[in-house]
Amino acid sequence: MSDINLLKEGLALPLMEDFYTIQGEGFHTGKPAYFTRIGGCDVGCSWCDVKESWNADLWPLTKTDEIIHRIETCPSRSVVVTGGEPLLYNLDYLCEQLKTKGFQTFLETSGSHPLTGKWDWICLSPKKNSPPLPQIYKLADEYKVIIQSKGDFDWAEKNTNRLTAECKLYLQPEWSKQDNIMQEIVDFVMLNPKWQISLQSHKYMKIP
């Protein structure tokens, strides 16, 4: 089968990196999970801390069965699929196989592409320059907005009516701007308690 068909069927993916670690952001902070980072992103956030993930051609096309085999080596039964933008690819086969092996599946996405795969938890992290597709808002378990300037608060609030009442709301300071914006976030959350603050705790812990 050609590489194009393998990608189309989700039988191979451009694997950038994978590792066992502690989740550092959002609702599941502090929990162990296996991270699978897929290369390729067409969103292109200026503050992205993994810009090397953007070009999928830089990363080896890896058989999905091999990716699953690597995931199976970790003690935790949780796997986080992230990127890049993982929804550039068909993730149905990956999730189907992980489910048969007893894994919980977690997705981190901008929501800018159609959803594939079956997920126990979807973290929707929207980006202004490539906003989520309308249908993914109601599927999000967690809505994590990166804040780098005051204008981001209004944008974050603007889309909350598209989410379910159960969706967890997080504001996270952009790492390089956190000294300047943190107090603004604290003040905003205190005035708007439906929101919580997410920090990149893995960076404080100096772990991947």
Q: Is the dihedral of CA 136, 140, 16, 49 positive or negative?
A: positive
pLDDT, residue 98, reads 98
Cα atoms in the Cβ-side hemisphere of radius 13 Å centred on 102: 6
* Amino acid at residue number 74: C
CATH number of the domain to which 72 belongs: 3.20.20.70
pLDDT, residue 169, reads 98
Which structural domain range is residue 165 located in? 3-205
**Distance of alpha carbon 155 from alpha carbon 143, whole angstroms:** 13
Cα atoms in the Cβ-side hemisphere of radius 13 Å centred on 56: 19
pLDDT, residue 43, reads 87
- Burial (Cβ within 10 Å: 0-12, 13-18, ≥19) of residue 26: buried
pLDDT, residue 89, reads 97
Mean pLDDT by 10 residues, the chain (208 residues): 92 97 97 97 82 89 97 96 96 98 97 98 94 97 96 94 98 94 98 98 93
Q: Global pTM?
A: 0.95
pLDDT, residue 48, reads 82
**Distance of alpha carbon 112 from alpha carbon 104, whole angstroms:** 23
Total of domains in the chain: 1
Token reading at 164: 């379910």
Is the distance from CB of 120 to CB of 135 less than 8 angstroms?
Answer: no
Element containing residue 187 per DSSP (H, E): helix 178-191
Q: Is the dihedral of CA 145, 125, 69, 16 positive or negative?
A: negative
